[in-house]
Structure 1
Amino acid sequence: MRMKIRLITLAMVLFCLSVLQAQQRSISGIVTSAEDGSALPGVNVVLKGTATGTITDVAGHYSIKVPSSGGTLVFTFIGLQTKEVKIGTGNTLNVALSLDVVQLSEVVMTGHGKERIRGKKSEYAAPSSTYHNMHIPYQDYVQQEANTEEYEGITENIFKDVFKDPLSTFSIDVDEASYSNVRRFINNGQQPLKDAVRIEELINYFDYDYAQPSAEHPFNIITEISTAPWNEKHKLVHIGLQGKSIATENIPPSNLVFLIDVSGSMSDVNKLPLLKSSFKMLVNELRSQDYVSIVVYAGAAGVVLEPTSGKEKEKIVSSLDNLQAGGSTAGGAGIQLAYSLAEKHFKKEGNNRIVLATDGDFNVGESSNESMEKLIEQKRKSGVFLTVLGFGMGNYKDSKMEILADKGNGNYAYIDNITEAKKVLVNEFGGTLFTIAKDVKLQVEFNPAKVAAYRLIGYENRMLKSEDFNNDKKDAGELGSGHTVTALYEIIPVGVKSEFFSVDELKYQKTDVVKSAQDSDELMMVKFRYKQPDGDVSKLIVHPMKDKQISLSNTSDNFRWSAAVAAFGMLLRESEYVNHYDYEKVVQLAKGARGKDEEGYRVEFINMVKSMGLMAKR
């Protein structure tokens, strides 16, 4: 009798499950751009009124479970119009999304962004807004709480007197995090916080058409000079570095440790779920000779995958799929464990690197910037490099992320969507993960016969003392395979009166220009120092730059594009030096320098500038 009752109960359960399954069905389709029909990866697809959602893959494909009775799907993507589509009787639903260059002019904000200075950091308090106005995934809107983002304070470089400060010295920077973070602010209808705008990272987000190096050194140097677009009295000097591109098949074997934050703060859809999708794309690029380990940290740190060959992609992906968010954030313990594992399996002739993915919200163990900095400085001596990938919003700690990357001989990117993940981890795979030169420093000496004053645009957090240039113990930036680095100097020529620079004549001493400087046709001397990735002694490159100015219209696309991006950054930072330049002029300058733009990054920038122009007019 009991057996009969059990069988009846089991049958009823199976019947209920079959009824429930019958009440649901799968809807799938492809999301494309209405402009050119190209597939759109990273589009958020949400069943309206629920937390059920998914994102499109690299081919623009999605699949989602919906009630058999129907409903409405909401499609959202940064910079494109949000689209709501009612579910019909069919199981295939393809959607085309159009550009939304005017969305920011229609956003109705119910609060205002504000800046709180805490020591040297800026903390951002986000404005409140409705889900549709924010243009963010529905899940993020539901979970969004008080905003505690932190950014390191930036004091803009000023014009310096060539007689008092003849040398300008700084470390290169190939980080791109600030650009994608600024894009996230703008596309959410918010004015970016000034300290979130690092102009050099905006400029270096883009590739430039520089010639590959052909000499003994691993990079090529390119210089150009013309009129500063925002001030016709001033000159603009463009300095470019092109790192040697190494084919993926020729990159040494990799010993990678994925260090993943799985604390409770990583539960949002644009954090751990996006992180998993991003890392899967990276795993797909790995070769059989590459090995991956996975370390996670929350309340404690642990190893979830011992070193595994890149040929075992399913095993690595399975380990990623099993990750869940929860607990506090023992960031220091995680970093210690990751370095220990990387050192244990160190490849002497290989590429040894930790890839840290987090929102930077460390609150247990090594939490202060100072203690983290000391920890990373100590660990980098092991020869293990560091790549930092930032995710999420609301509690994002940019200040910590930047320090980790700078002190860990590495690079830093912010992943705001799956398209950015593809750019960083697929398109720029070699540059992101393989270093060709470390401790790269640049020093410029200006000719006082031609230059009265100068200022470096951006790189405020990368400035070095003059004596640091020849000090091989002083840490500096790293250059990856195929990476480009661009720096701009704004110059006030001798004899030009400028409202931005005025110095009284000295009473007790005279500063004379030597005859050799007066007779020289050189504007300045550019010097570079770098080390091999495994080296301790730097090599020197000297590059004299002659004063051969050409008109702005005859400059290269590289020159005009970098100038347009710099002007945009100056406008966002409300720089006094932007000198009445505006967003419309930035758009015009950028349009004329767009170049090939095969990936569409530059047209995205132009549309973003247009959006800021509309916001500024409100």
Structure 2
Amino acid sequence: MKKLLATLLVISAACASFAQSRPAANTSQPLTRVVTGIVYDELGQPIAGASVRINGTQSGSTTSPTGGYKLTVPRKRTILDGTFLGYNTQSITLPDGKRDTTINFTLSPATQMLQDVVVVGYATQPKRAITGSVSTIAAAEMSHSRKSKQMAPPAPRFNTEDYSGIQENIFHQVKKQPLSTFSSDVDRASYSNVRRFLNQGMMPPIDAVRTEELINYFDYKYTPPTTADPVAIHTDMAICPWNSDNRLVRIGIQGKIVDVKALPASNIVFLLDVSGSMSDQNKLPLVKQALTALVGQLRPKDKVAIVVYAGAAGLVLPSTSGDEKMKILDALNRLEAGGSTAGGAGIELAYKVAVENFIEKGNNRVIIATDGDFNVGASSDGEMQRLIEAKRETGIFLSVLGLGMGNYKDNKLETLADKGNGNYAYIDNFEEARRIFVTEFGGTLFTIAKDVKLQVEFNPVMVQSYRLIGYENRVLQDEDFNNDKKDAGDMGAGHTVTALYEIVPAGGRVAPNEIDPLKYQEYIPTKARDARNEVLTVKVRYKQPEGRKSILLSKVLTSNMQRIDAAPADFRMAAAVAEFGMLLRNSEFKGKSSYEHVLQLATTAKGEDTEGYRAEFIQLVKKAALLKPTVAMAD
């Protein structure tokens, strides 16, 4: 018995020793897994801006322009909800599992569209300021509130966004006004701002919709210039999709494409608004993300400085080489919002720093990021315009980044960009920042042609009247075309400018707003009769980035009766976006336009769509089609 007991003790000790010597169980195994996938609509089209969330939590992901999402979830059994405005929620259960997996959603349209009622009030003024309240009230809450007086109404959200009024272009008779002159415009702020409204379940204010900026948001495959000129002109025409009695003319200007490695050195000054109004997540934190993406593109020969302004302006980072990325990012990350906004003082300091570090034959640029809510110092449109026009003479270009909502001052930011040899973008999400500073790095920062003006002369033998679609705030006097002192828009490397004209053929129906026939001026020049197959001549003037004298280019468009569905995909896409803009503005010239027709045109024009922007546009059209009947806009 004693021997047996001793044997058991030895075995027990050995087991204990073996257990202590074994490696500990791996407790560092991840408790999560990654789920990726795509959210589709009922037609198999990817949905941009949809949400995929873990059921019962706020943890989720928003789909990219190509409909993709990526989400970290627990390894235990989990329910995922796929949601999108106007569609039924789809719930998918993931069983216990350790491996990453792929889950795709297919959402079906809701039987009752838009249960929420969105009311936007704003006063009609020469400059439209949205000063009413914006609130979203669920239909069920409205019904319940009628039954119960104890339920408090939702708190209104005060909105002071400001947009310059737009008087839509009208038809002009060719025999009385044969020339149409306007400045180029590569800005795209209006499109991303309209997207922000639609993604929030609201129709955009009419004056937030600048149709030319919607059209120019998209990439079009025009042939780059084959001569020494930095731009090339392209023209074509088709039957107008919203009025088959008329024709639609497309004019495209393509800038030369420059390899990023071949771009000259950049001298960049970030001018950042760090006032209290920039504290929201979609303002200063988004600015930091955007500029972090830009810093990643910098080369050792590039230089960056950071100027901030709130109650006062200050230099946060002196001009620093692009290879000191950590130093630049550290300065960015330390920024915090607070105080009032002294925009004018910041502009003065930023240009001073840019001039001190000026690079001959380089890219010298100030990049201002703000919501435009200037309330200290120079703040009126007139003051800001005169200030930025004076700074334009330094040879330094300007990029304006607008951010935020609620107090966004689009009118001030558009003025800054237009008058300061600049471009203007609205950043509503990081994807837009990535496009501006990564995908289109050269086009955003490097100017290939400045003061680009277009003048179109119509042939009265072929055209009775015409209407320029959009560009209302870019229209110039005909005499301005040859005046090299008149400022106009600039183009960056690889940028395109697209303009559309709706024209009434000679002998067509006279537009109701035309003037009476003139007694003494009714004649057709011999040259017009000799060129009876020519519809129009496009002339373009531009200056080299450091030049003061303009250079002239021209191109003739001959008659073409092709149907819009036989036109190139890029033409169809531009027509679809123009039609969408007219619907959003409730244009008197929209003719037979409809959201259904916009979808039809855009779907056939989607093409390769590498970045997913055209697919995203299709989803925005669907949202607008659902929202339109339920939006009340009080004048």
Determine the C-alpha separation between the residues in 2 that align with 1:99 and 1:291.
47
- Residue equivalent to 1:268: 280
Matched with 2:501 is 489
Whether contact under 8 Å (1:241, 1:484) holds in the other structure is yes
Q: Does 1:33 align with 2:34?
A: no
Out of 530, 533, 547, which is 1:519 matched to? 530
Q: Give the Å deviation of 1:33.
A: 2.9
Q: What secondary structure sits across from 1:303 in the alignment? A: strand
Q: 1:110 deviation in Å?
A: 4.9
Task: Determine if contact 1:105/1:611 at 8 Å carries over to the other structure.
Answer: no
Q: Is residue 117–residue 138 contact of structure 2 (8 Å, CA) maintained in 1?
A: no
Aligned to 2:187: 175
After TM superposition, give the deviation of residue 322 of structure 1 in Å. Answer: 0.9
Q: For the residues of structure 1 that align with 2:494 and 2:103, how far apart are their CA atoms?
A: 34
Structure 2 residue 326 is the aligned partner of structure 1 residue 321: no
Instruction: Pick from 270, 273, 276 the counterpart of residue 258 of structure 1.
Output: 270
**Which shows bigger deviation, 92-101 or 477-486?**
92-101
Task: Pick closer, same or farther for the CA change 1:490–1:54 going to 2, 3 Å.
Answer: closer
| Partner in structure 2 of residue 378 of structure 1 | 390
Aligned CA RMSD, in angstroms, stands at 3.7
Match of 1:136 in 2: none
Structure 1 position 276, deviation (Å): 1.0
How do residues 83-482 of structure 1 correspond to structure 2 at under 5 angstroms?
98=105, 102=109, 106-123=113-130, 125=132, 127-129=134-136, 145-482=157-494
Aligned length: 583
Cα distance in 2 for residues equivalent to 1:104 and 1:114? 28
SS at match of 1:367: coil
Residue 499 of structure 1: how far off its partner (Å) = 4.7
In the TM superposition, what is the alpha-carbon distance from 1:352 to its structure 2 partner?
0.4
5 Å-filtered alignment, 1:564-575, equals: 564-575=576-587
Are the structure 2 counterparts of residues 288 and 237 from structure 1 closer, same or farther at C-alpha, using a change threshold of 3 Å? same
Relative distance call for 1:234 and 1:55 in structure 2 (3 A) is closer
TM-aligned CA deviation for residue 125 of structure 1: 3.7
Shift of the 213–79 alpha-carbon distance from structure 1 to 2, 3 Å rule, reads farther
Task: Using the aligned pairs only, state the percent identity.
Answer: 50
Structure 1: distance between partners of 2:91 and 2:374: 38
Decide which of 568, 572, 575 is 1:563's aligned counterpart: 575
Offset at residue 502 of structure 1 (A): 4.4
TM normalised by structure 1 equals 0.85
1:397-455 C-alpha deviation (Å, 9 max, x unpaired) = 10011011111111111111111111111111111111000000000111111111111
Question: Aligned pair in 2 of structure 1 residues 476, 571: CA closer, same or farther (>3 Å)?
Answer: same
Structure 1 residue 550, shift from structure 2 partner = 2.0
Q: Which has the larger radius of gyration?
A: 2
Compute the displacement of 1:329 (Å). Answer: 0.8
Q: Quick one: distance in 2 between partners of 1:213 and 1:276? A: 36
> d(CA) in 2 for partners of 1:310 and 1:397?
32
Partner residue in 1 for 2:18: none
CA contact (8 A) 1:79 1:99 kept: no
Distance 1:584 1:362, change over 3 A: same
Q: How far 1:570 moved relative to its partner? A: 0.4
In structure 2, the partner of 1:5 is none
Structure 1 range deviating more: 103-112 or 387-396: 103-112
Where 1:356 maps in the other structure, the secondary structure is: strand
Which amino acid in 1 is paired with 2:240? A
Secondary structure of the equivalent of 1:341? Answer: helix
Per-residue deviation, residues 293-315 of structure 1 (Å, max 9, x unmatched): 11111111111111111111111
SS of alignment partner, residue 231 of structure 1 = coil
State how far apart, in whole Å, the 2-side matches of 1:358 and 1:616 are.
30
Pair 32,86 (structure 1): closer, same or farther in 2 beyond 3 Å: closer
Partners of 1:551 and 1:39 lie apart in 2 by 30
Distance 1:254 1:53, change over 3 A: farther
Residue correspondence of structure 1 range 504-515 to structure 2 within 5 A: 504-506=516-518, 508-515=519-526
Any conservation in 2 of the 1:81–1:98 contact (CA below 8 Å)?
A: no
What is the letter of the counterpart of residue 305 of structure 1?
L
- Between the aligned partners of 2:49 and 2:117, the Cα distance in structure 1 is 31
- Equivalent position SS for 2:583: helix
Gaps of 5+ in 1: 1-24, 134-141
Distance 1:532 1:398, change over 3 A: same
Change (3 A) 1:430 1:517: same
Amino acid at match of 2:526: K
Instruction: Report the AA paired with residue 303 of structure 2.
Output: Y
Shift in alpha-carbon separation, 1:192–1:181, aligned structure 2, 3 A:
same
Once the 2 structures are TM-superposed, how far is the Cα of residue 530 of structure 1 from its aligned partner? 0.2
Deviations 1:297-345 (A, max 9, x none): 1111111111111111111111111111111111111111111100110
- Give the drift of 1:505: 2.9
AA partner of residue 121 (structure 1) = R
Q: CA deviation at 1:376?
A: 0.4
C-alpha distance 388-476 of structure 1, shift in aligned 2 (>3 A): same
Give the direction of change, closer, same or farther, for the CA distance of 1:86–1:225 in structure 2 (3 Å limit).
closer
Q: CA separation of 1:597/1:262 partners in 2, compared to 1, >3 Å: closer, same or farther? A: same
When residues 28 and 152 of structure 1 are mapped into structure 2, their CA distance, relative to the original with a 3 A threshold, is farther
- In the TM superposition, what whole-angstrom CA distance separates every residue of 1:176-208 from its partner, at most 9, and x where no partner exists? 000011011111111111000000000000000
Runs of 5+ unmatched residues, structure 2: 1-29, 141-153, 631-635
Local SS of the residue matching 1:293 = strand
Q: Deviations over 1:136-172 (max 9, x none)?
A: xxxxxx9994111000100000001112211100000
Contact 2:449 2:545 in 1 (8 A): yes
